[in-house]
Amino acid sequence: MTTTAPETGALEAVFEAAVAADERIEPRDWMPDAYRATLVRQIAQHAHSEIIGMQPEANWITRAPSLRRKAILMAKVQDEAGHGLYLYSAAETLGTGRDELLDKLHAGRQRYSSIFNYPTLTWADVGAIGWLVDGAAITNQVPLCRCSYGPYARAMVRICKEESFHQRQGYELLLALSRGTEAQHAMAQDAVNRWWWPSLMMFGPPDDESAHSSQSMAWKIKRHSNDELRQRFVDICVPQAESLGLTLPDPDLRWNEERGHHDFGAIDWDEFHEVLRGNGPCNEQRITQRRRAHEEGAWVREAAAAYATKHAAEHGEATA
């Protein structure tokens, strides 16, 4: 159905009023094409991050040093697959299916969070990912529970609950290492040293360089700026690092009484852009594994589809 210009104007007014009144936009509601496109891009990137994000942690499932830790880690990686499922479903409500989004991921036309292009080199990295990476993700994602698009906001409520558990398990894992043997403590500190700066980069470029921010803020897809969220995260982490008995690798990190926040050192945005461009330590490895799993699984998906078709036909004949 095509709409004429005056009709579109009226629909747009209804949409704008709903957003202004903090009402939820639902899949059957009219929405501007650009709003839909922005949401698909953001939800897809989030879904892709969940499934690519399984890789660095799954890297340690087979080496987890106790059965309790192994169970926790397997459950966590499973949760991420589940988050991927909710998010691909949320994108589907906007008219874009999972297959299409996966094809775009595999073709390099859609992104996932750059943080997963860093390697997990020791067991402590599992803790650092939980504490810092999931911690940063929660800081980013809690405001999304109030996002103007209903299905995304509702998926985020559930995801944030689970992410909060992940963050706590990471903290608890690091605490055990920090209070453990000298070698375990050193392992924890080394992991925090490597993951701290990439975690700060997870909030995206500074506000004055962020390409998508202002329109997303106006549409209430996004509620806070990148720099606001980054500051909030730093302020949360500093006392937690102290409780852990670990240090954060930033000589410029100090409390600023006047601002009521922690000042912190300059982020290496060249590194951020390099990793984004594909030159991170694991970009190639991550996407290659994802593509391989997809390609090697093609015959399984085809078999399931063929079986379903055959048996749907039988059922149809039986009831005809």
Partner 1 sequence: MTASVPTPATVPAQAHATAALSLGDDALVLSHRLGEWAGHAPVLEEEVALANIALDLLGQARVLLSLVGDEDELAYLREERAFRNVQLVEQPNGDFAHTIARQLYFSVYQQLLYEQLAADAGSPFAPIAAKAVKEVAYHRDHAEHWTLRLGDGTPESHSRMQRALDALWRFTGELFEPVEGLSVDRDALRDGWLTTVTDAIRRATLTLPDGPQIGAWTAGAGRQGIHTEPFGRMLAEMQHLHRSHPGATW
- Which residues of the chain form contacts with partner 1 (CB under 8 A)? 51, 54-55, 58, 61-71, 74-75, 77-78, 81-82, 84-85, 88, 98, 123, 173, 176-177, 180-181, 183-184, 289, 292-294, 296-308, 310
DSSP 194-212: HHHHHHHHTT-S-GGG-SS
d(CA 13, CA 15): 5
Q: How far is CA 89 from CA 92, 101, 297, in A?
A: 5, 11, 20
Looking only at the bridges linking them, the beta strands covering 254-256 and 261-263 are antiparallel
The residue among 143 and 245 lying less far from partner 1, judged by its C-beta, is 245
Distance of closest approach, residue 58 Cβ to partner 1, in angstroms: 4
The residue among 29 and 79 lying less far from partner 1, judged by its C-beta, is 79
Q: What are phi and psi of 261, to 5 degrees?
A: -140, 170
The residue among 54 and 275 lying less far from partner 1, judged by its C-beta, is 54
The residue among 181 and 319 lying less far from partner 1, judged by its C-beta, is 181
Distance of closest approach, residue 110 Cβ to partner 1, in angstroms: 16
Distance of closest approach, residue 272 Cβ to partner 1, in angstroms: 25
* Residue 317 burial (CB count, 10 A): 8
Distance of closest approach, residue 200 Cβ to partner 1, in angstroms: 26
Distance of closest approach, residue 96 Cβ to partner 1, in angstroms: 16
Distance of closest approach, residue 112 Cβ to partner 1, in angstroms: 13
- Residue 171 near residue 245, CB atoms below 8 Å: no
The stretches of the chain forming alpha helices (DSSP H) are 5-20, 33-58, 67-92, 98-106, 124-128, 134-141, 150-178, 182-201, 213-218, 226-244, 269-274, 283-296, 298-319
The residue among 35 and 86 lying less far from partner 1, judged by its C-beta, is 86
The residue among 261 and 291 lying less far from partner 1, judged by its C-beta, is 291
The residue among 86 and 219 lying less far from partner 1, judged by its C-beta, is 86
The residue among 266 and 300 lying less far from partner 1, judged by its C-beta, is 300
Distance of closest approach, residue 86 Cβ to partner 1, in angstroms: 11
d(CA 284, CA 119): 12
CB-based contacts of 290, cutoff 8 Å, min separation 6: 51, 52, 55, 105, 106
- Tokens 């990439």 sit on residue: 198
Burial 158-187 (b: 16+ CB within 10 A, else e): ebbebbebbbebbbebbbebbeeeeebbeb
Distance of closest approach, residue 296 Cβ to partner 1, in angstroms: 7
- Residue 18 near residue 29, CB atoms below 8 Å: yes
